[in-house]
Amino acid sequence: MEEEESKNLEKLVKWAANLGITDSSSSTTNQNPCLSSSSSCLSHTLSVSNFPENGGRGLSALRDLIKGDLILRVPKPALMTRQHLMEHDHKLFLALHNHPSLSSTQVFTVCLLYEVGKGRSSWWYTYLVNLPRSYDVLAGFGEFEKQALQVDDAIWAAEKAVSKAELEWKEAKKLMEELKLKPQLVSFRAWIWASATVSSRTMHIEWDDAGCLCPVGDLFNYAAPGEEPKGFEDVKGLADDSRSLLTDGWFEEDVNSYCFYARENYKKGEQVLLSYGTYTNLELLEHYGFLLNENPNDKVFVSLEPNMYSSSSWPKDSQYIHQNGKPSFALLSALRLWATPPHQRRSVGYLAYSGCQLSADNEISVMKWISNKCHAILKNLPTSIDEDILLLSTINKIQDYSTLNELEKVLLAFGSEACTFLEASGLQSRKNGGELLVSRKTKLLIERWKLAVQWRLGYKRTLADCISYCDDISSSLSRRNYGL
């Protein structure tokens, strides 16, 4: 961490402690936090640390933690909400009343930019200077990064994210001008930053669907909820309320605070992670600007023919391939019915809907259909898995380069996509002792390119694993039934 960054973090921790943000497990408020010798520690439970391979800045355990332990409490007055910002600024309050058609998140995004515009005089300054300077969410993808996703559905999702952001920005511009925001805060770039802050850092609250920004609570990095959040439902009798068991933090009226609980046991020094909910990798990229190599909630959708969808009543979004290559329950069930002659579907429907195989022949034709489909998709994509692996290792290498000469040498030797990158980056540079340094903008572009390649590689690996899975099943059925 840079020196300035760590100083800002120290100030944040002190500021948070003064507001009663505490990681003490005691339920009484106004502990005396920040007694720890280390300035990035809250006091008893958590410390701000860096996890380069796992989300960057995050929170580590200062002691062994037990699943279900209360690990952080953030009192309501320390939560940044639209209501809080409006109540403390009459000009903002009046201006917002003239724009009732803006959505709650558009309003919160404007509020955030307005607060940033106050600079040091903002009550939130210590919090705001610790926000990331940029995000890699899909809405910030340019043409090059969008195309690097390669898969139509993903390119379409990125295009939709960009056009949604543009539309929301245009709609909110009048309000921002009325509030006399500085031109750089009215820019589309600033909008992407603020809306990504809102989408990637806000926590759910009952009284405002824009959510709240939760100092310190928003330093938890993400771990996907497991398939079965077993056991957690027993913690503190929470099973019967509407709080999603897929998240580990919520607002509690009785203590007037946002409370966070350990989702599993942690050893001292380990990173404490939070589940923000269930997301595929494309959704993580869209809302948070990162993805997981291992994501139990990732899904690959393959397009089916209309008569395949209509042969069963499974919703389209339940028919997909899991990250490990296994077809989903609904996809198998739908295809088993589709591969059954229409006049027999009624009589075997109950078996198909309960997840049973219908016959060896039926199963083999389903497996062959899926396998062929995956082959066809892979064949139509511009690069293979091996090429993507090689490209990814090259991108990892160039991320460490500081001069454009080094970067260009490697990329020019690489091939067409790398050359397109060089064009797209415009080689933003500045002279320094005769060397052209890689600019911050180019580094961000490399990071987004890497995410796009990681995403498409994950997609292709899932298809390849699905081919192996289906081929194994059809050959073992053929052997067993026909001695082939």
Ligand X SMILES: C[S@@+](CC[C@H](N)C(=O)[O-])C[C@H]1O[C@@H](n2cnc3c(N)ncnc32)[C@H](O)[C@@H]1O
Q: List residues binding ligand X (CB under 6 A).
A: 54-58, 132, 200-201, 218-222, 288-290, 292
DSSP for 236-301, written as a single string: GG-TTSSS-TT-SEEEEGGGTEEEEE-SS-B-TTSEEEE------HHHHHHHTS---SS-TT-EE-
Residues in the chain: 484
Shortest CB 350 distance to ligand X, Å:
42
Residue 59 or 179 with smaller CB distance to ligand X: 59
Shortest CB 57 distance to ligand X, Å:
3
Phi–psi pair at 37, nearest 5 degrees: -70, -30
Residue 57 or 67 with smaller CB distance to ligand X: 57
> Of 226, 106, 259, which Cα lies nearest the Cα of 173?
106
User: Residues 389, 436: contact at Cβ < 8 Å?
Assistant: no
CA–chain centroid gap for 185, Å, is 25
Residue 273 or 358 with smaller CB distance to ligand X: 273
Shortest CB 55 distance to ligand X, Å:
3
Name the maximum alpha-carbon separation found in the chain: 81
Shortest CB 349 distance to ligand X, Å:
42
Shortest CB 215 distance to ligand X, Å:
11
Residue 283 or 417 with smaller CB distance to ligand X: 283
> Of 14, 8, 20, 13, which Cα lies nearest the Cα of 78?
20
Residue 197 or 362 with smaller CB distance to ligand X: 197
d(CA 196, CA 115): 16
Residue 8 or 478 with smaller CB distance to ligand X: 8
Residue 222 or 449 with smaller CB distance to ligand X: 222
d(CA 123, CA 65): 33
Q: Vertex 274, ends 271 and 279: CA angle to 5°?
A: 125
Q: Can you read off the two tokens belonging to residue 329?
A: 């329950």
DSSP for 358-426, written as a single string: --HHHHHHHHHHHHHHHHHHHHHSSS-HHHHHHHHHHHHHHTT--BHHHHHHHHHHH-HHHHHHHHHHT
Shortest CB 136 distance to ligand X, Å:
7
DSSP for 78-141, written as a single string: GSB-HHHHHHT-HHHHHHHHT-TTS-HHHHHHHHHHHHHHTGGGSTTHHHHTTS-S----GGG-
Residue 272 or 463 with smaller CB distance to ligand X: 272
Straight-line distance from the first to the last Cα atom of the chain, in angstroms, rounded to the nearest whole number: 61
Shortest CB 289 distance to ligand X, Å:
5
Residue 89 or 286 with smaller CB distance to ligand X: 286
Shortest CB 401 distance to ligand X, Å:
22
- 19 three-class SS: coil
Return the amino acid letter for 82.
R
d(CA 230, CA 234): 9
Shortest CB 221 distance to ligand X, Å:
3
Shortest CB 302 distance to ligand X, Å:
27
Residue 222 or 401 with smaller CB distance to ligand X: 222
